[in-house]
Structure formats: C-alpha cells, structure tokens
C-alpha cells in the first residue's frame, strides 16, 4: 500500500487544510493509502488537528529543531537548523510526498536528497491559481521555487479545475493529463441534515481576512447600499487575518452591524448554517454552506469591485474563485435583492440547487481520484542550487517586504 507524506505550512481552518484533513480521513477509512502529516509551523487549529490525528500521525517540524523561537512562522522554520537525519528516519517507508505550495515543495526536495529516498515520488498541488506564477524580481529564492515546480512531471501535479490547468499549460509549456484535474473534495455528510432559515436575519461570511478577498469589504458596502440594517439584518464574519481591522473600521464608518466572531471550528459550522439566511464567500466553505442548502453568493478573489459570478447553485463547472473566468458577472447587490424579495418556493428552489451542486465536490469520489493520481505519478528529477544563497535571498526579500520596499511576497495572491 502507498504511504503518503503530506507537507503543509500551517494547519489552521482553511480550504487547503480542510481538504487535506478530509482526504486523509477518507483514504484511511477506505484503505486507499496510509498517510503522515508534516506541519512546518505550530500554527494549528485544535479541532482540525484532533480530527486528522484520529487517522494519521502528525509531525511538527519544530520538534526536530534546536531553537523554538518563531516556531509559528514557517518562513523561518524552513531555514532554521533542523535534524534532517532524524526527520528522514521518521519518514522511512514513505512512497509518495505531496506538498501544497512553493515552500513545502522546496522542503520536500531537500528532504529527499538522500539515497534512501531515491524512489519516493514527489507530487504537488496547485491550491491557489497564482501560487507558482507570482514574481519577486531578481530574487534567487523565488527563481529556485519556480524551477522546483517546473521540474515536476505533469502527471505529478494535482490541479483542482480545468481552467487553471489550461493556464498552467500555456504558462509552463507542459501538458497536465486530465486525470490530475478533478475538484476539491469536501466531507458533505454532516451538512445534509442541516438547512437554512429563510426567516433569519443573519448573512454569513467565513474565511481568512486578507486584502485579495475584496468581496469581504464589498459585502459590507452592499449591505449599506441596500440599507439592510433597517430591515433587521446583521453581517456575521467568522475568521481571522491581517485585514480584520480594516473590515471593522469600514463597517463602523458605514454604520453596518458587523459581528466579528474570530476563529470558527468545523464542528460549529452546521449550527451556523442552520441559523443563516445567506452565505457569501469562497474556498471549500462555500461548498459546505451549499451542502447545508444555504443560498451562497460566490466571492471572487482579487475582484476589487462589487461583481460576483452569482449563486453557487447556478455555477457550471468547478471554477469559481478566479476573477478571469468566462462567466458573466453580476452585482452582489442584485443577488442579495433577488433573495430578499423571494417567496418560500423560490428560496427553497435556490436552496435545493445549492445542495445538488455541492455533490459534485464530494470527498468520497475525490479521494478515489486522488489515489489514482498518485498511482500514475513518476520520479522527480532533482535540481541543484545554492542553499546558502537561497536562504540569504529569502531573508533579504522578507526584510524588503516588511520595509515596504518590495511587494512580491506580501501581495503574491492579489
């Protein structure tokens, strides 16, 4: 049986982390493959860690490092002195490694620079469409990261939708087989018994508060334009992130009743959805909300206007977060207004369409596809580069970003 090591930078509540957790659980229950999880930082969510720990062994990189400072920052963890020999001993018997971004890719390559790992197949996923295309001009470390990615055979790269696969084929002049392109999997089982409340006054958003998710601020503005406070509605934002204060200040300036709930656990999501009139967002959470039948407006990343692709239940295909899809955009105001003015029959029809759409992202079929994707992967052709130069370049770029003299790392997903 295959033994897969998943490498992630953090394990907080988020789309990638939720997907990996669900995948490990279902693969274990169905006997597709064994798993191990390596987390490069100590930024984790307790409930999510407990869920995944029931199906696999979880290893923290900090346990193999001499210094505990900055252990919550994977940027620094990957360059701190590490007992790489002990780490390799811990992962003996691994047949595949799956990494999720530029930093975990580079760490995976370094981990396997040992004869004992010469037969391990390295795979990676495109979990954000801009992950391997963002630039940090003149930065050696970024050139290495991009070269590391370009060395992956096409059959070793998992891509969640065909639109992104087409973009990457053109960008990297490489063919990605159709069998590596299939949608994220979500555990829908616990949401099937839930249902939205048309009489509720709660409009929900769940996700990380970051600037490229501009729909979060646009929702606040839409709420104000439609004067929803006068009708008794409230915005409820669940999450955390660097843009939280800006969202709070915007809501106060527009006199919008915004409740910031902080981090949310997965166990609490069914109850949140049951008390929701509507959801606005993206990632895997919009799939979960849709599975509960909550009418959900698609939040488009890096769309700095009030435009959306509409309701998730009306979506064709599996792409919805990118801002350059060939889908007609409408205003968030228009979507909210449609639901506000709806009768019970219309609201129920919208709810049912969302449940139906969510089934296309069911983790059971996804886990089987992922197993087949791993089965078809091949060996990775390792590259050589200067580790010292990589580390120096990385530190310099972090400093320049902190000082505001460069924006590559800070705005890589914008």
Render pLDDT for 179-238 as a digit per residue (tens, 0 to 9).
888 888 888 888 988 899 999 999 999 999 999 999 999 999 999 999 999 999 999 999
Using alpha carbons, select from 49, 46, 2 the residue that is nearest to residue 28: 2
Residue 259's H or E segment, with its range, is: strand 258-260
Render pLDDT for 32-88 as a digit per residue (tens, 0 to 9).
999 999 999 988 888 889 989 999 999 999 999 877 666 777 877 877 788 999 999
Residues 159 and 18 in one domain: yes
Full residue range of the structural domain in which residue 354 is found: 189-361
- Give residues with Cβ within 8 angstroms of 284, minimum separation 6: 15, 18, 19, 184, 186, 361
Residue 167 in any domain: the answer is yes
Instruction: Look at the alpha carbons of 33, 34, 40, 46 in this order and tell me if their dihedral is positive or negative.
Output: positive
Residues 172 and 238 in one domain: no
For residue 270, the model assigns a pLDDT of 93
Residue 150 in any domain: the answer is yes
Q: What is the pTM of this model?
A: 0.84
For residue 70, the model assigns a pLDDT of 66
Tell me phi and psi for residue 136, to 5 degrees.
Answer: -135, 90
- Band of residue 313 on the pLDDT scale cut at 50, 70, 90: very high
Residues 338 and 253 in one domain: yes
CATH number for the domain spanning 308: value is 3.40.50.2000
Residues 13 and 34 in one domain: yes
Residues 223 and 277 in one domain: yes
Residue 413 in any domain: the answer is no
Q: For residue 131, what are the CA distances in angstroms to 38, 199, 224, 324?
A: 20, 41, 34, 16
Residue 407 in any domain: the answer is no
Residue 136 in any domain: the answer is yes
Q: In what order do the strands lie in the sheet with 96-99?
A: 57-60, 34-39, 3-8, 96-99, 121-126, 157-159
- Band of residue 272 on the pLDDT scale cut at 50, 70, 90: very high
Q: How many CA atoms lie within 13 A of 297 on its CB side?
A: 28
Residues 339 and 209 in one domain: yes
Render pLDDT for 81-112 as a digit per residue (tens, 0 to 9).
889 999 999 999 999 999 999 999 989 998 99
Residues 219 and 258 in one domain: yes
Number of domains within the chain: 2
- Band of residue 145 on the pLDDT scale cut at 50, 70, 90: very high
What average pLDDT does the chain have? Answer: 91
Residue 411 in any domain: the answer is no
Residue 290's H or E segment, with its range, is: helix 285-291
Residues 198 and 162 in one domain: no
Residues 201 and 303 in one domain: yes
Residues 70 and 119 in one domain: yes
Q: What percent of the chain has pLDDT over 90?
A: 65
Residue 410 in any domain: the answer is no
Residues 132 and 262 in one domain: no
Look at residue 401 and tell me whether its pLDDT is greater than 90. no
**For residues 359 and 54, what is the distance between their CA atoms, to the nearest angstrom?**
25
Q: Is 300 helix (H, G, I), strand (E, B) or coil?
A: coil
Residues 175 and 223 in one domain: no
Look at residue 414 and tell me whether its pLDDT is greater than 70. no
Residue 14 in any domain: the answer is yes
Both tokens of residue 299? 């939040």
Provide the greatest CA pair distance for the chain: 68
The least confident of 42-46, 359-363, 402-406 is: 402-406
């Amino acid at each position: 049986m295959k033994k897969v090591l998943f490498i992630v930078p953090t394990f907080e509540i988020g789309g990638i982390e939720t997907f990996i957790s669900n995948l490990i659980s279902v693969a274990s229950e169905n006997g597709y493959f064994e798993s191990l999880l390596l987390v490069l930082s100590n930024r984790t969510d307790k409930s999510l860690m407990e869920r995944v720990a029931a199906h696999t062994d979880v290893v923290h990189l900090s346990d193999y490092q001499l210094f505990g400072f900055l252990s919550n920052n994977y940027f620094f963890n990957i360059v701190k002195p590490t007992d790489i020999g002990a780490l390799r001993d811990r992962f003996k018997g691994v047949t595949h490694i799956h990494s999720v971004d530029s930093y975990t890719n580079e760490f995976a390559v370094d981990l396997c620079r040992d004869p004992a790992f010469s037969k391990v197949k390295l795979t990676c996923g495109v979990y954000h469409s801009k992950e391997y295309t963002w630039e940090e001009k003149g930065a050696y470390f970024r050139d290495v990261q991009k070269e590391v990615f370009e060395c992956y055979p096409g059959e070793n790269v998992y891509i969640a939708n065909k639109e992104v696969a087409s973009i990457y084929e053109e960008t990297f002049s490489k063919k990605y087989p159709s069998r590596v392109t299939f949608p994220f999997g979500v555990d829908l089982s616990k949401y099937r018994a839930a249902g939205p409340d048309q009489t509720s006054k709660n409009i929900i958003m769940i996700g990380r508060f970051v600037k490229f998710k501009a729909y979060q601020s646009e929702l606040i503005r839409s709420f104000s334009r439609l004067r929803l406070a006068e009708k008794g509605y409230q915005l409820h934002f669940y999450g955390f992130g660097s843009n939280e204060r800006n969202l709070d200040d915007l809501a106060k300036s527009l006199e919008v009743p915004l409740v910031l709930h902080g981090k949310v656990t997965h166990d609490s999501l069914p109850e949140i959805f049951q008390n929701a009139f509507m959801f606005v967002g993206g990632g895997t959470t919009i799939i979960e909300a849709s599975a509960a039948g909550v009418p959900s407006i698609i939040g488009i990343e890096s769309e700095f206007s009030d435009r959306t692709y509409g309701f998730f239940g009306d979506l064709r295909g599996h792409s919805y977060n990118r801002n350059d899809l060939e889908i007609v955009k409408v205003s968030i105001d228009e979507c909210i207004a449609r639901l506000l003015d709806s009768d019970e029959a219309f609201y129920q029809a919208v709810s049912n369409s969302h449940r139906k759409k969510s089934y296309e992202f069911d983790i059971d079929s996804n886990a089987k596809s992922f197993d087949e994707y791993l089965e078809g992967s091949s060996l990775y052709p390792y590259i050589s580069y200067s580790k010292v130069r990589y580390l120096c370049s990385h530190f310099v770029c972090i400093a320049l970003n902190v000082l505001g003299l460069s924006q590559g790392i800070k705005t890589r997903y914008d």
